[in-house]
Amino acid sequence: MLGLHPWHVAAASPDWAMRLEALLREHRTGVGECGLDFARKESDRTEQEAAFRIQLRLAQSFHRPIAIHVVQAWGRCLDLLKEVGVPPAGALVHAFSGSRDMALALQSLGIFLSFSRESLRPDRPKAREALRSVNPGFLLLETDGATDLGAVVMAGAEILQIPEEDLAALTWENGQRCFRELLA
Protein backbone atom coordinates (compact mmCIF):
# COMPACT_ATOMS: atom_id res chain seq x y z
CA MET A 1 0.00 0.00 0.00
CA LEU A 2 1.17 3.51 -0.79
CA GLY A 3 -0.49 6.60 0.60
CA LEU A 4 -0.38 9.60 2.87
CA HIS A 5 -1.42 8.70 6.43
CA PRO A 6 -3.54 11.38 8.15
CA TRP A 7 -0.89 11.79 10.87
CA HIS A 8 1.54 13.09 8.25
CA VAL A 9 -0.69 15.34 6.15
CA ALA A 10 0.53 18.59 7.73
CA ALA A 11 4.19 17.71 7.06
CA ALA A 12 3.68 16.46 3.50
CA SER A 13 5.46 18.19 0.66
CA PRO A 14 3.30 20.27 -1.68
CA ASP A 15 3.83 17.74 -4.49
CA TRP A 16 2.89 14.64 -2.46
CA ALA A 17 -0.18 13.87 -4.58
CA MET A 18 1.80 14.00 -7.84
CA ARG A 19 4.48 11.79 -6.32
CA LEU A 20 1.87 9.30 -5.12
CA GLU A 21 0.26 9.27 -8.56
CA ALA A 22 3.65 8.55 -10.16
CA LEU A 23 4.28 5.71 -7.72
CA LEU A 24 0.86 4.22 -8.45
CA ARG A 25 1.64 4.31 -12.17
CA GLU A 26 4.93 2.53 -11.53
CA HIS A 27 3.81 -0.05 -8.94
CA ARG A 28 0.79 -2.29 -8.69
CA THR A 29 -0.23 -1.43 -5.15
CA GLY A 30 -3.24 -0.31 -3.19
CA VAL A 31 -3.76 3.18 -1.78
CA GLY A 32 -3.39 3.86 1.91
CA GLU A 33 -3.38 3.79 4.73
CA CYS A 34 -5.21 7.09 4.44
CA GLY A 35 -8.25 8.68 6.02
CA LEU A 36 -9.14 10.83 8.99
CA ASP A 37 -7.81 10.97 12.54
CA PHE A 38 -9.49 13.73 14.52
CA ALA A 39 -7.99 12.52 17.80
CA ARG A 40 -4.74 14.27 16.88
CA LYS A 41 -5.41 17.86 17.88
CA GLU A 42 -2.35 19.20 16.05
CA SER A 43 -3.74 17.99 12.71
CA ASP A 44 -5.84 20.21 10.49
CA ARG A 45 -9.14 18.49 9.72
CA THR A 46 -9.63 20.37 6.46
CA GLU A 47 -6.19 19.26 5.23
CA GLN A 48 -6.90 15.66 6.26
CA GLU A 49 -10.20 15.69 4.40
CA ALA A 50 -8.59 17.15 1.27
CA ALA A 51 -5.84 14.49 1.34
CA PHE A 52 -8.41 11.74 1.85
CA ARG A 53 -10.49 12.98 -1.10
CA ILE A 54 -7.40 13.02 -3.34
CA GLN A 55 -6.47 9.48 -2.38
CA LEU A 56 -10.02 8.20 -2.87
CA ARG A 57 -9.96 9.68 -6.37
CA LEU A 58 -6.54 8.18 -7.12
CA ALA A 59 -7.76 4.76 -6.00
CA GLN A 60 -10.75 5.16 -8.28
CA SER A 61 -8.78 6.30 -11.31
CA PHE A 62 -6.12 3.57 -10.94
CA HIS A 63 -8.71 0.93 -10.01
CA ARG A 64 -6.91 0.07 -6.77
CA PRO A 65 -8.22 -0.96 -3.34
CA ILE A 66 -7.88 1.53 -0.51
CA ALA A 67 -7.08 1.03 3.19
CA ILE A 68 -8.80 3.58 5.42
CA HIS A 69 -7.68 4.81 8.84
CA VAL A 70 -10.43 6.34 11.00
CA VAL A 71 -10.20 7.64 14.56
CA GLN A 72 -12.86 9.88 16.10
CA ALA A 73 -14.08 10.85 12.63
CA TRP A 74 -16.56 8.12 11.74
CA GLY A 75 -19.44 10.33 10.60
CA ARG A 76 -17.22 12.59 8.53
CA CYS A 77 -15.46 9.61 6.95
CA LEU A 78 -18.80 8.10 5.97
CA ASP A 79 -19.90 11.45 4.50
CA LEU A 80 -16.74 11.68 2.37
CA LEU A 81 -17.07 8.09 1.18
CA LYS A 82 -20.62 8.83 0.07
CA GLU A 83 -19.59 12.15 -1.51
CA VAL A 84 -16.51 10.96 -3.42
CA GLY A 85 -17.47 7.31 -3.77
CA VAL A 86 -15.91 4.02 -2.77
CA PRO A 87 -13.29 2.86 -5.27
CA PRO A 88 -14.69 0.06 -7.46
CA ALA A 89 -11.61 -2.07 -6.67
CA GLY A 90 -12.69 -2.11 -3.03
CA ALA A 91 -11.98 -0.62 0.35
CA LEU A 92 -11.29 -1.73 3.87
CA VAL A 93 -11.32 0.05 7.18
CA HIS A 94 -8.12 -0.84 8.98
CA ALA A 95 -8.27 -1.72 12.72
CA PHE A 96 -12.01 -1.14 12.89
CA SER A 97 -13.07 0.28 16.25
CA GLY A 98 -16.38 1.88 15.39
CA SER A 99 -19.90 1.08 16.48
CA ARG A 100 -22.28 -1.59 15.26
CA ASP A 101 -24.27 1.06 13.38
CA MET A 102 -21.14 2.35 11.66
CA ALA A 103 -20.17 -1.21 10.73
CA LEU A 104 -23.55 -1.68 9.09
CA ALA A 105 -23.34 1.68 7.27
CA LEU A 106 -19.88 0.92 5.88
CA GLN A 107 -20.87 -2.57 4.80
CA SER A 108 -23.84 -1.10 2.94
CA LEU A 109 -21.23 0.71 0.80
CA GLY A 110 -19.40 -2.57 0.14
CA ILE A 111 -16.50 -1.81 2.49
CA PHE A 112 -14.59 -4.58 4.24
CA LEU A 113 -13.99 -4.20 7.99
CA SER A 114 -10.68 -5.39 9.39
CA PHE A 115 -10.31 -6.11 13.10
CA SER A 116 -7.03 -6.22 15.00
CA ARG A 117 -6.27 -7.90 18.32
CA GLU A 118 -6.32 -4.47 19.94
CA SER A 119 -9.89 -3.83 18.82
CA LEU A 120 -11.03 -7.26 20.04
CA ARG A 121 -9.79 -6.88 23.62
CA PRO A 122 -12.37 -7.64 26.34
CA ASP A 123 -12.41 -3.96 27.39
CA ARG A 124 -13.61 -2.94 23.90
CA PRO A 125 -17.30 -3.95 23.99
CA LYS A 126 -18.31 -1.59 21.16
CA ALA A 127 -15.86 -3.12 18.69
CA ARG A 128 -16.69 -6.64 19.84
CA GLU A 129 -20.39 -5.93 19.25
CA ALA A 130 -19.52 -4.48 15.83
CA LEU A 131 -17.61 -7.67 14.97
CA ARG A 132 -20.72 -9.73 15.71
CA SER A 133 -22.72 -7.50 13.32
CA VAL A 134 -20.38 -7.88 10.34
CA ASN A 135 -21.68 -9.82 7.39
CA PRO A 136 -19.20 -12.72 7.02
CA GLY A 137 -18.46 -11.61 3.44
CA PHE A 138 -17.04 -8.28 4.67
CA LEU A 139 -14.90 -9.51 7.58
CA LEU A 140 -11.11 -9.27 7.66
CA LEU A 141 -8.59 -9.78 10.46
CA GLU A 142 -5.16 -8.15 10.80
CA THR A 143 -2.17 -8.07 13.06
CA ASP A 144 -1.55 -4.32 12.82
CA GLY A 145 2.09 -5.30 13.14
CA ALA A 146 2.03 -5.98 16.88
CA THR A 147 0.31 -9.33 17.29
CA ASP A 148 0.54 -12.87 16.01
CA LEU A 149 -2.26 -13.41 13.47
CA GLY A 150 -3.16 -16.65 15.21
CA ALA A 151 -3.99 -14.68 18.36
CA VAL A 152 -6.30 -12.42 16.35
CA VAL A 153 -8.05 -15.42 14.80
CA MET A 154 -8.40 -17.02 18.24
CA ALA A 155 -9.94 -13.86 19.72
CA GLY A 156 -12.31 -13.36 16.79
CA ALA A 157 -13.41 -17.01 16.79
CA GLU A 158 -14.12 -16.83 20.51
CA ILE A 159 -16.27 -13.71 20.10
CA LEU A 160 -18.12 -15.14 17.10
CA GLN A 161 -18.34 -18.60 18.67
CA ILE A 162 -17.09 -20.37 15.55
CA PRO A 163 -14.12 -22.67 14.97
CA GLU A 164 -10.81 -20.90 14.43
CA GLU A 165 -10.22 -22.85 11.21
CA ASP A 166 -13.53 -21.59 9.77
CA LEU A 167 -12.73 -17.99 10.64
CA ALA A 168 -9.22 -18.27 9.20
CA ALA A 169 -10.57 -19.72 5.94
CA LEU A 170 -13.33 -17.10 5.69
CA THR A 171 -11.04 -14.14 6.25
CA TRP A 172 -8.42 -15.57 3.87
CA GLU A 173 -11.05 -15.79 1.14
CA ASN A 174 -12.27 -12.25 1.92
CA GLY A 175 -8.71 -10.94 1.77
CA GLN A 176 -8.33 -12.51 -1.67
CA ARG A 177 -11.52 -10.75 -2.81
CA CYS A 178 -10.58 -7.43 -1.20
CA PHE A 179 -7.18 -7.36 -2.88
CA ARG A 180 -8.17 -9.12 -6.13
CA GLU A 181 -6.99 -6.18 -8.25
CA LEU A 182 -3.48 -6.50 -6.82
CA LEU A 183 -3.35 -10.29 -7.09
CA ALA A 184 -4.39 -10.51 -10.75
CA dihedral 169, 173, 176, 179 (to 10 degrees): -110
Question: How many helices (H) and strands (E) are present in the chain, helices listed first?
Answer: 8, 5
- pLDDT under 70 in the chain at which residues? 146
- Coil, strand or helix: which one is 153? helix
pLDDT number for residue 158? 95
pLDDT number for residue 159? 96
pLDDT number for residue 148? 87
How much of the chain, in percent, has pLDDT values that exceed 70? 99
User: CB count, 10 Å around CB of 18?
Assistant: 10
Q: Which amino acid is at 50?
A: A
What does each C-alpha distance from 171 to 102, 139, 161 come to in angstroms? Answer: 20, 6, 15
The CA angle 172-140-135, to the nearest 5 degrees, is 105
Among candidate residues 40, 90, 47, the one with its CA nearest the CA of residue 70: 40
CB under 8 Å to 15, separation ≥6 — which residues? Answer: none
- Render pLDDT for 90-126 as a digit per residue (tens, 0 to 9): 999 999 999 999 999 999 999 999 999 888 899 999 9
Report CA 56 to chain centroid distance, whole Å: 12
Work out the mean pLDDT of the chain and round it to a whole number: 94
